[in-house]
Structure 1
Amino acid sequence: MNPVDKRRVRRSFSRSARAYDGRAAVQREIQDRMLALLGEAAPEARRALDVGAGTGALLARLAAARPRLAPAAVDLAPGMAAAARARVPSATVAAADAEALPFRSGAFDLVVSTSTFQWLPRLEPAFAEARRVLAPGGVLAIALFGARTLRELRDAWAAAGAGAARTHRFFSRDDVERALAAAGLATRSVVEEDLVEHHPDARAVLRSLKAIGATNAVPGARGLGGRGATLEMLRRYEDGHAGPRGVPATWHVVWAVAAR
């Protein structure tokens, strides 16, 4: 169980909607790769739902590549849903939760999601909803941030005295595989990789996360101990990781394709 305050997630990503596309470099790379993956995994899909669509960037590109596509999108953050609606006028867009999709059963040939499911308390309910709205033979394709994501930052917080219970827990590859099976989906593939960004210093890492709305969503974790703990975390981060390229920030990506 991943403790997540969804109200905080909703507010944070709504505020970041306008600036998101200009700051989310790793997320853009994942979208690029997802488009290529969908060309192999679901080449004939004509009814597609993007769960956690953000500003609609991925859905817009998918719709441009497939002129006959009937696109739809949901995002928990109203600000993101509004941006997606403006970006893809042909899409049916709703501000909605991945655990309660506002669509009829069997409505889609494809459900896709990138950089989203790590913000859920559990994976099983969202995967079960994806299965429900998929037609028989439909495909679920996801990329979520896994257990090693931001390990440098989380280790620095732990060294500064903020326990693991107060920092975000990311799902592992095993968590993903178990949840797909529990939801009754037939797994085709699950792979993982690490993408590493570099920033000038630890403060720049925090600024980057804030700019895209990826702030701590653990209930009661705001500040993680105050200014003193934050300064100690920054020191630990830089002492442990600073190098000629600045400091690294690891994004562990778990890719999965499954079918109903």
Structure 2
Amino acid sequence: MSRAAIETWDRNAPHYDAQERLEARALDTAHRLAGLRSDDTLVDVGTGTGLLLRRAAAGRPRPARAIGVDRSEGMLAEMRELPAGWSVVVADAAAVPLDDGCADVVTCA
């Protein structure tokens, strides 16, 4: 991702969640299709402010672990508190610094 694109996401991050209602149906569908189980590790690439992670945290069963990955530190800074054992990583989607096979489910929006 270019520096200009990252700066745009960072600049717009404080207002990003205002569009959640526009994405609600797609997020709900993605969450349902992920078929998460309580022992899963979820990696959400391009997590932004964590809209999909929020659904996973509120859902049942809730995955044991989740990792949100995003290149925009501004977007990640807007993320609400995550459940214990969940984390975020600042990284480009083209070079996610996680071990192969570490996830049971990977989402990317």
CA contact (8 A) 1:49 1:71 kept: yes
Q: Which of the pair is proportionally richer in strand?
A: 1
In percent, how many aligned pairs have the same letter?
32
Tell me how far 1:47 sits from its aligned partner: 0.3
1:65-214 correspondence runs (5 A): 65=59, 66-84=61-79, 86-90=80-84, 91-114=86-109
CA deviation map 1:57-100 (0-9, x unaligned): 1112112213342010111111112223x432532211110000
Contact 2:56 2:63 (C-alpha < 8 Å) held by counterparts: no
Query: Which residue, out of 33, 54, 65, partners 1:60?
Result: 54
TM-score, normalised via structure 1 length: 0.38
1:12 aligned onto 2:2: no
Preserved contact between residue 56 and residue 88 of structure 1 (Cα < 8 Å) = no
Distance in 2 (alpha carbons) for counterparts of 1:106 and 1:46? 12
Counterpart residue identity of residue 100, structure 1: A
Aligned CA distance change for structure 1 residues 35 and 104 (closer, same or farther; 3 Å): same
Q: Which amino acid aligns with 1:7?
A: R
Number of equivalenced pairs: 107
> RMSD between aligned alpha carbons?
2.1
SS in 1 for 2:104: strand
TM-score (norm 2): 0.82
- The alpha-carbon distance between structure 1 residues 68 and 26, as it changes in their structure 2 partners (threshold 3 A), is closer
Give the secondary-structure state (helix, strand or coil) at the position aligned to 1:108: coil
Deviations 1:198-257 (CA, angstroms, capped at 9, x unpaired): xxxxxxxxxxxxxxxxxxxxxxxxxxxxxxxxxxxxxxxxxxxxxxxxxxxxxxxxxxxx
Distance (whole Å) between structure 1 residues aligned to residue 63 and residue 107 of structure 2:
17
Following superposition, the deviation at residue 43 of structure 1 comes to 4.9
Larger radius of gyration: 1
Q: Structure 1 stretches of 5 or more lacking a match?
A: 115-260
Give the whole-Å Cα distance in 2 for the aligned partners of 1:69 and 1:36: 17
Residue 34 of structure 1: CA displacement?
Answer: 0.9
1:88 counterpart SS class: coil
